[in-house]
Each structure stands twice: as C-alpha cells, then as structure tokens.
Amino acid sequence: MSTATEEAAPAKSNSKLIIIVGAAVAVVLVAAAFVVFTMLKPSEPAKDPAKEPGGMVTMENAMTLNLADGKFLKTNLALQLSQEATAELGGDTTKFDVSKARDAAIGVLGKYKLNDLLSPATKVEAQKQLTEEVAKRYEGQVLQVYFTEFVMQ
C-alpha cells in the first residue's frame, strides 16, 4: 500500500506543476500583448503649430467692391490664423493687419459676376481661391478665409 501512495503523489505534483507553468505562460503572454499593443504602438506625430488652427480675426468693417459686371458685393471676412501666428501676436488677434486680405478679396472676388456668385458651387470656389491667395500673401499664417457677410446688388 505504501507504493501505491508514493506513485499517486508524483502524479499529483506533476499536475500542479503543469497548472503553475501554464499560468506563468499566460501571464507572460498577457504582458507581451500589453507591451505590443500599447507601448510599442506608433505615437501620433507632433502637431505643427503652423498648420493647426489658432485664433480668428474678423474684419471690423465690411467692404463693398465692384464685380466684373458692374454690380456690387458687400462682404466681410473672418481669417482663421494658425496657432503659430496667434502665438506671435501674444494671443491678441486684434493686432493682426488685415489689409492684405482686403486687397486679395478685391482682386479675387472682383473677377466674378453677380450671376456667377449666386451659384453655391461658384461661391465655394471663390472662397477657396481667396483662401489660397490670402495664405500666400501672409506666408501661411492664415489657414482659412470665411465670409461673415455676403450681399450682392
């Protein structure tokens, strides 16, 4: 009888050893998965303050300009500055000189006729062209131009 008890004891300790090793392997696999999926995941690239939206500048006074067909457009603009441009102004966007944007608006919008600008698609295209021209004149400090007033006569 003592031999049967001795043989049962090693089988019981082998199953405990298998359970312990299995649990240890599972813990290692979970830890490895955590490292792979969280710590080694590529981080987001640093955001460029020259391309991230900053403060808004709204022109104080609307402007009236002649359209190509002799009609008039009364418009006002808001300029979306970059974070970099906003920081250069110390956060005070009232210091931003809008004269280049006004001049660009006269040049770009003055090429259109009233009937052309009645079309929403043409108005969007005009806004896109104006944004590109203003961004160029301000060397990228302005990211977007918005119409805050747009009245034709």
Lowest model confidence (mean pLDDT) among 26-30, 33-37, 83-87, 116-120: 33-37
* Interacting residues of 75 by C-beta distance below 8 A, sequence separation 6+: 62, 63, 65, 105, 109, 147, 149, 150, 151
3-class secondary structure, 153: coil
Host domain of residue 81: 53-152
How large is the average pLDDT for residues 114-142? 96
Q: What is the C-alpha end-to-end distance of the chain, expressed in Å?
A: 113
- 39 with 57, same domain: the answer is no
- 39 with 63, same domain: the answer is no
- Whether residue 48 lies inside any domain: the answer is no
Q: What is the pLDDT of residues 40-91, one digit of tens each?
A: 666 677 787 778 999 999 999 999 999 999 999 999 999 999 999 999 999 9
Q: Model-level pTM?
A: 0.69
**CATH number, domain at 77?**
3.30.479.30
- 1 with 72, same domain: the answer is no
How large is the average pLDDT for residues 1-22? 65
Mean pLDDT of the chain: 87
What span, in angstroms and rounded, lies between the C-alpha atoms of 123 and 73? 12
- 79 with 6, same domain: the answer is no
- The token duo for 70 is 């002799």
- 71 with 138, same domain: the answer is yes
